[in-house]
Structure 1
Amino acid sequence: MAAMKRGANAALTRENPHLTGVVVGVRWDAGAETPLSDNLVVATILCDAAGKAVSDEHFVFFNQLSSPDLSVNQLEQALGDDNEQIEIDFNGVPDTIARITLVLYINEGTARRRALGQLKECRLRVLNLADNSELVRSEDLSGMLTNETAIALGEIYRHNGEWKFKVIGEGYAKGIAGVAADYGLTL
C-alpha cells in the first residue's frame, strides 16, 4: 500500500461500504530525545462544517478521553506500533460534526526548547474498527517539520454522505495555542 501524501484524501466508506468506524493510530520516533517523546500529546477536535470546534468539550486528549457523545475515544493503551490511537464510531457521531481533526503537539514544561523537527518519524494510519485491518496510512510527515511545536496530522470528514480521510500535515510554530486559535478552542 502506497503512503498517502500531504493533501491527499481517501474515500473510506465508499471503498468499504460496511465500515462502521475506524481506529486512527499515530506513530512517532523521537530517537534519543526522551523529553520530546515523553511530552508529545495527541488530541482530536470534533468540528462543525465551518471547521471550528463544536465546544471545548469536543477536544479529546489525555485529560478528556472521550467526546461528550462517546463517539470519539482516545484509547488508554495503543496496540501494535502506534504510540497513540483514537477510536471513532461513525454511527455515534452527531450530524453537527462535519470533521474530526487529529493533532500532535508538544506539551509545555520540560519539553521547552524542543521542536517537532527533531522527530525521526511522524505518521498516522487508519484501521478498520471491526478487524484492525489497515485501510490507509500517511507518508512520514517528519521531513517537512522544523521549528513547529504542533501539527494538524489529518482529518476524518463527511462528504456527500460518506466518510473520507485526508492527510493535512500543517505545522504550527505557536504550538497548541496556534491550533486553539485556528479551531476556536479556549484552553
Structure 2
Amino acid sequence: MSTGGIARGGNVSLTKENPGLSAVAVGVEWDRTLEPALAESLTLAAVLCGADGRAVGRESLVFWNQMTSSDLSVAALDSALGHDVEQVEVFLADVPDTVSKVVFVLYVNEGSPRRRTLGQLSTCRVRVLDAESGRPLASSENLAASFGTETAVLLGEVYRHREHWKFKVVGQGYSAGLRGVTDEFGLTS
C-alpha cells in the first residue's frame, strides 16, 4: 500500500499491509538548493529504543560514525534509493525483541562557527521504502514548514504494534540539536 503526505502524528501499517516485508529503508529528502555547507552538515541518525522509550544501549545510535547497530539489524546506507538524500535500513526480523521502536532523527552536524538551523529548509520529508524492491510504502507531509531555530528533528519511528510493524510521522524539533536528542533517549551520562 503506497501512501503520501502523512501528517505529524499519523501512522501507517507496514507489515500488515505488506505481508512478507522483511526490510525497510527509512530516508529523508530535503531541498537540494541549499547552501552547500548546510546540505553537507545534515545527517540522518537512528536510535533503537526499548519499551521505556529510551535507547537500549550506547551502541544503539546509528549515524555516520557508527554505521550499524551492534546486532546488525539497523544500518546506514552508503547510497540512497530513489530521491532520498540519506537512508537507514531496518531488517525487521532481526530487530531484537528488547527493541520496541527505531526512531529517525535529522540533525545539523555543526562544524563551523556559523549557526545553521533546520529553519533554512524549505522541503523536508521522511519516507519509508520496501528495501528489497524500492517501492514506496509511506511518505510524510512537508515537515519543513514548522522548522525554526531547531537543529535536530525526530522525523518518525518504525515501531512494533502487536505482531506487526508500523511507521509514525513525528516531526518534533530540538533546538539543542543532537545533544537534546541524546539526552531525551538516555545516550548521555
Q: TM-score range by the shorter chain?
A: over 0.9
Q: Specify every segment of 5 or more residues in structure 1 that has no aligned partner in the other structure, as ranges.
A: none
Question: Which residue matches 1:54?
Answer: 56
Change beyond 3 A, Cα 1:111–1:95: farther
Deviation at 1:31, TM superposition (A): 2.5
| Equivalent-residue separation in structure 2 for 1:111 and 1:121 (angstroms) | 24
Q: CA RMSD in A?
A: 1.3
Deviation at 1:33, TM superposition (A): 1.9
Q: Specify every segment of 5 or more residues in structure 2 that has no aligned partner in the other structure, as ranges.
A: none
SS in 2 for 1:148: coil
8 Å contact kept, 2:118–2:148 = yes
- State the AA in 2 paired with 1:179: V
User: What's the CA shift string for 1:6-55, capped at 9, x where partnerless?
Assistant: 10000111111211111112111262422111101110000000110011
Question: Which residue matches 2:161?
Answer: 159
Under a length normalisation based on structure 2, what TM-score does the superposition of the two structures give? 0.95
8 Å contact kept, 2:81–2:134 = no
Change beyond 3 A, Cα 1:9–1:111: farther
Question: Which residue matches 2:124?
Answer: 122
Q: Does 1:99 align with 2:98?
A: no
- State the AA in 1 paired with 2:188: T
SS in 1 for 2:153: strand
- Counterparts of 1:142-181 in structure 2, within 5 Å, are 142-181=144-183
| Equivalent-residue separation in structure 1 for 2:126 and 2:32 (angstroms) | 15
Match 1:84 to one of 83, 86, 92:
86
| Equivalent-residue separation in structure 2 for 1:109 and 1:68 (angstroms) | 27
Under a length normalisation based on structure 1, what TM-score does the superposition of the two structures give? 0.96
Question: Which residue matches 2:16?
Answer: 14
Percent same amino acid at aligned positions? Answer: 49
Deviation at 1:111, TM superposition (A): 6.5
SS in 2 for 1:178: helix
Change beyond 3 A, Cα 1:30–1:175: farther
8 Å contact kept, 2:82–2:134 = no
Question: Which residue matches 2:6?
Answer: 4
| Equivalent-residue separation in structure 2 for 1:132 and 1:102 (angstroms) | 19
**Deviating runs (4+, > 6 A) in structure 1?**
none
| Equivalent-residue separation in structure 1 for 2:13 and 2:174 (angstroms) | 27
Deviation at 1:76, TM superposition (A): 1.1
8 Å contact kept, 1:53–1:185 = yes
- State the AA in 1 paired with 2:128: V
